[in-house]
Amino acid sequence: MATTTDSGSGIETPEFQQVCEAVRQGCNVLVLGEAGNNADFPKLLYRQFEGRLNVAIAKYKGSGKLFFQKMAEALDIPTTEDKYDREGNVTGEKPMSMDAIKDELLMNIGPDTLLILPEAKRLSSSIRYWLEDAIAAGCRMVLFSPVNPGRDIFLDLLEIELELPTDQAIREVMADEAKRRGLQLSRSELAELQPLAGRNPMLARKVVRQRRLGLKHQRPEHTQYIVIMPILVACLMAFGVVRFVGMGTKNKSLYIFGGTALITGMTLKQLGSVRGARKRFGQ
């Protein structure tokens, strides 16, 4: 299970260790996972390197200046400058402009800096271009996104994909959320609600909140796929055997039935392989 928690178990996951090793080697990483599956990962990563690197977690929420300002404050980089009067005397301080903060950041970051950027899919083009300059300055960074956008900075990042949590882990999340909201759910009720959340902890908490408020549950927001290809192949082989039996025994009915069923099965198999784009939750 790759979902991280506040407990020590999150640090022991293979994906977390891979990201940490990549950071130690000076690589930049893009962590891929559905929205809600990596909520604690950035915090655990921050704790892992706190004290060894200058670490900052910055989440973009629509304001580029606020984004860079929070990043600078986390790295103890000044975001104000002296204010002068007409005679050239210092009269106080004033906030830096966004461009000035960006320049100040580039002058103070380097190989000992680690930037952790959740919700990287939100980043504007101007921020992504600045991140390219930060990488050129030696800065290390870990970005989180449901999918690789496949453009500019993302093309140069190492991809590490998080596995979805198990059904048992989702039920544990639902049980914890129910306990927090004073709701008693039996094992059978958890088993009934779990398919509505798929394998996403965020949706699991949402389902419990809906039950607590007595709201009608909507259809499952995730489709869980079952691989039936081995069954289809076995059926096709069986039809082939029937065809050869009919051929050997000169039974025209078996021969025609086996051949027709085999061709029909292969046609359906090819049609079944046509799929649309599968998007992660949050993409």
CA 214, distance to chain mean position in Å, is: 30
* Residue 156 burial (CB count, 10 A): 11
**And the tokens for 42?**
């950035």
Please answer whether residues 138 and 110 qualify as being in contact, where contact means their C-beta atoms are separated by less than 8 angstroms: yes
pTM assigned to the model: 0.68
pLDDT at 7: 40
How do beta strands 90-95 and 80-84 pair?
antiparallel
Distance CA 185, CA 250 (A): 63
Whole-angstrom distance, CA of residue 193 vs CA of residue 179: 15
Give, for all 283 residues of the chain, the pLDDT tens digit.
Answer: 334 444 444 556 888 999 999 999 999 999 988 777 767 889 999 999 999 999 999 999 888 899 999 999 999 998 888 787 777 777 778 888 999 999 999 999 999 999 999 988 889 999 999 999 999 999 999 999 888 888 888 888 999 988 877 888 888 888 888 888 888 888 888 888 888 877 788 888 888 888 888 877 655 555 444 556 667 667 767 767 776 777 777 777 776 776 777 677 777 666 666 454 455 555 4
CA diameter of the chain: 111
Give the position of tokens 């596995």.
163
Q: Give the pLDDT score at 127.
A: 93
Q: For residues 167 and 185, give the distance between their C-alpha atoms in angstroms, rounded to a whole number.
A: 16
Domain boundaries, the chain: 8-161, 167-213, 229-272
CB 190 within 8 A of CB 169: no
Q: How far apart, in whole angstroms, are the C-alpha atoms of residue 235 and residue 20?
A: 47
Write the DSSP string, 37-65. SSSSHHHHHHHHHBTTBEEEE----S-HH
At residue 1, the pLDDT reads 36
Look up the CATH superfamily of 8-161. Answer: P-loop containing nucleotide triphosphate hydrolases (3.40.50.300)
Nearest to 52 by CA among 4, 82, 20, 16: 20
Strand-pair category, 54-57 with 113-117: parallel
Six token digits for residue 193 = 């609600």
Dist CA 111 CA 53 (whole Å): 9
Collapsing DSSP to helix, strand or coil, 140 comes out as strand
pLDDT value at position 227? Answer: 55
Task: Count CB atoms within 10 A of the CB of residue 230.
Answer: 8
pLDDT at 148: 86
- Give CA–CA dist 130/203, Å, rounded: 34
Q: How many whole angstroms separate alpha carbon 48 and alpha carbon 27?
A: 16
What pLDDT, on a 0 to 100 scale, did the predictor assign at position 19? 92
Angle at alpha carbon of residue 207, lines to 204 and 211, rounded to 5°: 140
Residue 80: CB atoms within 10 A of its CB come to 12
Cα gap 148→30, rounded to integer Å: 8
CA distance 270 to 264: 10
256 secondary structure, DSSP code: H
